[in-house]
Structure 1
Amino acid sequence: MANPLLQTFDTAPFSKIKNQDFEPAFEKALKEARAEIEVITASTDAPSFTNTIAALDATGEQLNRISSILFNLNSAETNEEIQQIAQNVSPKLSEFNNDLMLNETLFKRIKSVFKTQNKFNLNHEETRLLEETYQNFTRNGANLQEGQQKRLREIDQELATLSLQFGKQVLADTNAFELHVENKEALEGLPENALESAAQVAESKEKTGYVFTLHYPSYIPFMKYVKNRELRKKMAIAFGSKGFQQNQNNNEEIVLQIVKLRHERANLLGYNTHADFVLEKRMAKTAIKVTSFLDELLEKAKPAAKKEFKELNEFAKQVDGIEQLQKWDTAYYSEKLKQKKFNLNEEELKPFFELDQVVSGVFTIAHKLYQLNFEKLTDIDVYHKEVTTYKVTDQHGNFIAIFYADFHPRAGKRDGAWMTIYKNQQIKNGQNERPHVSIVCNFTKPTKTQPSLLTFNEVTTLFHEFGHALHAMLANTTYSSLSGTSVYWDFVELPSQLLENWCYEEEALALFAKHYKSGEKIPQTLVEKIKASANFQEGMLTLRQLSFGKLDMAWHAHNPTQIENVKQFEDGAFKDTQLLPSIKQNCMSTAFSHIFQGGYAAGYYSYKWAEVLDADAFSFFKENGIFNPEVALKFKQTVLSKGGTLDPMDLYVSFRGKEPDPEALLKRAGLIENS
């Protein structure tokens, strides 16, 4: 039977793919991609933009599509066999990438076009592609000596393997833990729907009572509502010890290997640190600027955070005689304090945020802003029965994108939420090929008696990932490598974080926040409470995000070769942002997938950086109306459709008319007074 991955396909043929198809498909696709590059290097024609730069951008399309399928399955629906295939394939992909970047003949052609670009009469997008291509080669070893290039290849192969191993071990520790509670009385405070979910998990494992796991929809309600402090402690310690236990999943050595290899790689390429290498291609530009940015926010947030923490500590002491708040206390007492201050119970909100209704709402908002329509499809192949697919069209009925949505946790899915692309937008042979885009989340599952009712945090997460999806869906560039979310990492979070703002707006909530039983719109009193509580503990939350950014920079903006103890180093990095006592059994770094498995190394600060952009951008929407068609069209035309065709600051200024004002974020967060 023919290998489905090697056939011509539009949407990914998930149901036809067998695990044994992947490795032969990669072998063939790698061979074809090498042949495509050989055509470019063997050409006897003088190097030009068309026969070298554009031709290179068009290579490896099948390889990219097969890669997107395998690596998304490895994140969203994995098993031991897929994990092994990913481990086998990753070094080969690294080798291919190195062969490409270190291809002397190819680089000579690229360099020739770069040096003589004035004679090609290039437009701004072509100029951008040329510059990005040239820099990509110089930044990845094209100018190194032969011995240095050999070492670069070794490092990249090692890093590819270590990164996958890191993620595999975090997932293994996540799945290995369960808290089995037979006595319902021990779970006092836990809402009925969370109890029902835990009972279903127990039933699926053929156990009596209730089973809780480290997956977010199980873990978060437990930590927020269970009165039993010892049980909360068990859960918190288990959650914080992923990758840090004395078992086969321990990630300490992997963390040290990764940071030291990244540092060596940066040095080989002429950079002082990995952060210097990464940030050269970011809006922030330098590690000094990132550190200064984080420190400035810390200066503003720390007094507020200390005040909020003192209030929380006093509240816990008053309510339950707690002398010293611990990691397993903050979510529980914060929820109680929030209820007291705002008369707002998270459980009160959930009946108004039924998943299908929220999805319908985000679609309606996308229609009102960007005239997009979403039609559910049943004839598109999916990798799991829980995945839903949609055809996206514009107001004229033109096809815009295929959209996949995968919302609930499974044993084969890593924690968190993300957006991925199965097919990039590009203009090929005169045709505008439209993208296939997916969002993957871990939201509260339906139970036997209730549909999936989302927490407000899950609602904002859905909007966040859908913001990324819009960035990919509305892409309208010529070249695949500049399309959609192919932008600087500290700019990519702007569309996602911007869309979260609509979750707090009465006009937007009215479109989807309806009681799942009665259909009653969310009461105005609850809307007011959501808005009033939006900045609750903002100082503490900001401090938490800054602590992650600072930990990331501590690992990547300095020479790590002398670091021997991961936990000790991490505690040092956290000292300026720490409010709670350190727990000896817990370590963040060993499960910090963003920087050791994902692409956020030396880039975690970008969440806060993009918050400055999104606060400033949303203030423009607010001034003109959150559904103002002119402002939405301008954002679509100047940001969402442009991808990486211009410098991000130029894109932002073309939308906003000025550079972003950091005070917009501080005002929104309540960290400085509104004038």
Structure 2
Amino acid sequence: MTQSTDNPFFRPWTTPFGIAPFGDIRIDDYRPAFERALAEHRTEVDAIATNPDAPSFANTIDALETGGHALDRLCGVFFNLAGSDATEAIQAIQREMAPLLAQHSNAITLDARLFARVRALYERRDQLGLTGEQLRVLEKTYKNFVRGGAALDEAGKARMRQVTERLATLGTAFSQNVLKDEATWTLDLSEADVAGLPDFLKSALAQAAKDRGREGYVMTLGRSMVEPFLTLSPRRDLRETIFKAWVKRGEMGGETDNRAIVAETVKLRVERAKLLGYPTFAAFKLDETMAKTPDAVRTLLERVWNRAVVRAGEEKADLAAVAREEGMNEPIQPWDWRFYAEKVRQKRYAIDEAALKPYFQLDRMIEAAFAVATKLFGVTFRRRDDVPVYHPDVRAYEVLRDGQHVGLFLGDYFARPTKRSGAWMSAFRSQEKLSGPVRPIIVNVMNFAKPPEGRPALLSFDDARTLFHEFGHGLHGLLSDVTYPLLSGTSVARDFVEFPSQLYEHWLERREVLSDFAVHAETGEAMPQTLIDKLIAARTFNQGCATVEYVSSALVDLAFHSLDTAADIDPVAFETEELRRIGMPEGLVMRHRTPHFAHVFSGDGYSAGYYSYMWSEVLDADGFAAFEEVGDPFDPVLARRLGDYVYAAGNSRDPMEAYVAFRGREPDPEALLVKRGLATAA
């Protein structure tokens, strides 16, 4: 075992802002750190459970909230690196720790002594003189125990332990399999293969080859490479090869195939729900959301689906017409859609993706996201090169308000083989006040193509929107101002958590922001007003396709988790049948096919909850309309309410109450359809 004097997890961190001393951490430090942190937390919890004093809020709830500091600190480092810089060694530890951490969680949740104390307080909650935040913590703690199986008999508890530990193992395997498929699949391309591609994409392909010690050009399965290739390559044969590999992640056979993992996961989730008295896993999962029931989710999704399918049909006809003009008379296939959609967009709006991209430099878009936050919430960002980071590409910024430290923000923007695909926000440390003023350390992780040395990284408009989206999540963590860790930052209902992030995307589309920050990488000139006008006019272009891709994924997720039995299910056959049932249009596929649907199967996060983006989109479309109604996207009164009741409030109140406190009324669902161009504003 590593000696305590050598292991960074066994000593206080004297680094700037108390961030992890990443350069000092060795792979051999993690196992002994987990061993000690788990033992310390077990001791802390046992002291609460065996306390001879009558249960009080202080000796039970406060004590639970302040316990596990060493474990939280360790997990904050380890699991962030497992997603963003996952070496084989880290993955091996992750596989080992997944069931052990599930066992540890079960030992707390299923401790009858501990639950008795929590239940005693919950039953007397109206007599305890609690603050609103304390009452919410108590209610959430009690519900978490019950939903974890604390009220089951001993046989039920034993089975719950088995089910949750196995699910933890399966979720880890699922995510690691997808990462391996993405990291290992490559396609060597010749000079002839990249003919007709714009310079920015050729440079990215050349850089990918260089990173792998190869000559020429290399295609990978990173989304920031796949989507522009499918959009801009005239080589239909290569588009087909790359697209088919992209949608087959997790379904390529061999040791990384996820089909059996999905089947077992769905089966165990049904069992878990029934142990807790719910008919389906969807009913269990949605009980603690804004939507509340599977029927409410299905109603929203189907309302949007029907309009999106009609719009997608119209879009497909437009694509086919352009394809015929160019001599392509075959039916439009999924690998054709982006290519011909770009041609239609150029024809209709005179917008060329290759000509547009130089205006969206990564550094300038980061500045834009920061500037919007400054105008809305009064926070500023200072680059800190003295802060340790876990990879040379990571940037660190101190966040301040009125000269006072608010938190630390890390930006990890470039794709690499050890990083899972997609984009996300996470916390190395969450804000809270119970242990003193604890300031957050928040990270945004992206997968943009890294440019050659000395060249600026160029984003698509969608990439820039992703950056704003994740920074919206980041602000939700950074601006959090609550006392209790359980309620901090993004620890809100799953179908509310996307509201602050999706709302933040709206500011990218504002002329005030584009004119200041969309600056051409070569000429230094601001984006012309005529181009800004075209970009804004085109924002609902191809929304039939985008909406079908998303909603089909959400409906398949809901269908899996609405099963009341799942013995011997074939996940791909089930997916195919559900798409047939809902009338999936020819030429389109789900945004995330089941074998690589990490939102849903790499853990419980978005299981039965992928609809959440659309539920939150109702809120964000209606919420931004408030700024439009007053004619100022930075209206100080609205911005203050948004900051106070949404970004700073964490889970300190019911999400609909939070929304109404900001907006003044409940949201209008029609705003979503107008935003996506599927309905006309009244």
TM-aligned CA distance change 1:170 to 1:327, over 3 Å: same
Q: Does 1:199 align with 2:206?
A: yes
In 2, the alpha carbon distance for the partners of 1:152 and 1:16 equals 39
> Who is 2:8 aligned against?
4
**C-alpha displacement at 1:201, in angstroms?**
2.3
In 2, the alpha carbon distance for the partners of 1:406 and 1:343 equals 33
Higher mean C-alpha displacement, 240-249 vs 456-465: 240-249
TM-aligned CA distance change 1:600 to 1:577, over 3 Å: farther
Contact 1:175 1:214 in 2 (8 A): yes
TM-aligned CA distance change 1:353 to 1:228, over 3 Å: same
**C-alpha displacement at 1:246, in angstroms?**
2.1
Residue 554 of structure 2: which of 546, 549, 552 is its match? 549
Q: Does 1:493 align with 2:501?
A: no
In 1, the alpha carbon distance for the partners of 2:111 and 2:556 equals 36
In 1, the alpha carbon distance for the partners of 2:195 and 2:670 equals 43
> Who is 1:119 aligned against?
127
> Who is 1:671 aligned against?
678
Q: What pairs up with 1:322-471 in 2 under 5 angstroms?
A: 322-394=329-401, 396-429=402-435, 431-448=436-453, 450-471=455-476
In 1, the alpha carbon distance for the partners of 2:40 and 2:454 equals 52
> Who is 1:642 aligned against?
649
Residue 275 of structure 2: which of 254, 257, 268 is its match? 268
**C-alpha displacement at 1:581, in angstroms?**
5.1
Q: Does 1:212 align with 2:212?
A: no
**C-alpha displacement at 1:245, in angstroms?**
1.5
TM-aligned CA distance change 1:357 to 1:13, over 3 Å: same
In 1, the alpha carbon distance for the partners of 2:589 and 2:369 equals 40
Q: Does 1:602 align with 2:608?
A: yes
Paired residues in the alignment total: 671
Contact 1:443 1:454 in 2 (8 A): yes
TM-aligned CA distance change 1:449 to 1:335, over 3 Å: farther
In 2, the alpha carbon distance for the partners of 1:408 and 1:202 equals 15
> Who is 2:597 aligned against?
592
Residue 248 of structure 1: which of 252, 255, 264 is its match? 255
Q: Match of 1:407, SS?
A: strand
In 2, the alpha carbon distance for the partners of 1:322 and 1:344 equals 25
Contact 2:280 2:562 in 1 (8 A): yes
In 1, the alpha carbon distance for the partners of 2:464 and 2:119 equals 48
> Who is 1:157 aligned against?
165
In 2, the alpha carbon distance for the partners of 1:439 and 1:290 equals 29
Q: What pairs up with 1:264-343 in 2 under 5 angstroms?
A: 264-343=271-350
Contact 2:549 2:589 in 1 (8 A): no
1:43-91, CA deviations, whole angstroms, 9 ceiling, x for partnerless residues? 1221111111121111112211211211111110011110010111111
In 1, the alpha carbon distance for the partners of 2:117 and 2:125 equals 12
1:401-423, CA deviations, whole angstroms, 9 ceiling, x for partnerless residues? 01000000001001100000011
> Who is 1:172 aligned against?
180
Q: Does 1:54 align with 2:65?
A: no
Task: Give ranges in structure 2 of 5+ residues lacking alignment.
Answer: none
**C-alpha displacement at 1:630, in angstroms?**
1.2
Contact 1:263 1:559 in 2 (8 A): yes
TM-aligned CA distance change 1:454 to 1:582, over 3 Å: closer
In 2, the alpha carbon distance for the partners of 1:506 and 1:66 equals 43
Contact 1:241 1:587 in 2 (8 A): no
Contact 1:621 1:627 in 2 (8 A): yes
Higher mean C-alpha displacement, 300-309 vs 74-83: 300-309
In 1, the alpha carbon distance for the partners of 2:484 and 2:58 equals 12
> Who is 1:515 aligned against?
520
The percentage of aligned residue pairs carrying the same residue is 39
Q: Match of 1:189, SS?
A: coil
**C-alpha displacement at 1:204, in angstroms?**
3.6
Contact 1:498 1:617 in 2 (8 A): yes
> Who is 1:27 aligned against?
35
In 1, the alpha carbon distance for the partners of 2:588 and 2:441 equals 44
Q: Match of 2:448, SS?
A: coil
Contact 2:540 2:677 in 1 (8 A): yes
Contact 1:615 1:665 in 2 (8 A): yes
Contact 2:557 2:607 in 1 (8 A): yes
> Who is 1:474 aligned against?
479
**C-alpha displacement at 1:533, in angstroms?**
0.6
1:191-232, CA deviations, whole angstroms, 9 ceiling, x for partnerless residues? 112112212322343433211111122212211111111111
TM-aligned CA distance change 1:364 to 1:606, over 3 Å: same
**C-alpha displacement at 1:302, in angstroms?**
2.2
**C-alpha displacement at 1:449, in angstroms?**
5.9
Residue 531 of structure 1: which of 532, 536, 539 is its match? 536
Higher mean C-alpha displacement, 244-253 vs 184-193: 184-193
> Who is 2:636 aligned against?
629
1:10-67, CA deviations, whole angstroms, 9 ceiling, x for partnerless residues? 2112111111111111111111111111221121221111111121111112211211
Contact 2:209 2:216 in 1 (8 A): yes
**C-alpha displacement at 1:519, in angstroms?**
2.4
Contact 2:519 2:527 in 1 (8 A): yes
Q: Give the letter aligned to residue 106 of structure 2.
A: N
TM-aligned CA distance change 1:425 to 1:252, over 3 Å: same
Contact 1:491 1:648 in 2 (8 A): yes
TM-score normalised by L of structure 2 = 0.96
TM-score normalised by L of structure 1 = 0.97
Contact 1:346 1:455 in 2 (8 A): yes
> Who is 1:38 aligned against?
46
Q: Does 1:108 align with 2:113?
A: no
Q: Match of 2:83, SS?
A: helix
In 1, the alpha carbon distance for the partners of 2:84 and 2:572 equals 29
> Who is 2:623 aligned against?
617
**C-alpha displacement at 1:587, in angstroms?**
8.6
Contact 1:170 1:591 in 2 (8 A): yes
Q: Does 1:96 align with 2:104?
A: yes
**C-alpha displacement at 1:564, in angstroms?**
3.1
In 2, the alpha carbon distance for the partners of 1:129 and 1:582 equals 44
Contact 2:221 2:246 in 1 (8 A): yes
Q: Match of 2:444, SS?
A: strand
In 1, the alpha carbon distance for the partners of 2:454 and 2:426 equals 32
Q: Match of 1:410, SS?
A: coil
Q: Does 1:18 align with 2:26?
A: yes
In 1, the alpha carbon distance for the partners of 2:55 and 2:533 equals 63
Q: Give the letter aligned to residue 505 of structure 2.
A: E
In 2, the alpha carbon distance for the partners of 1:291 and 1:435 equals 36
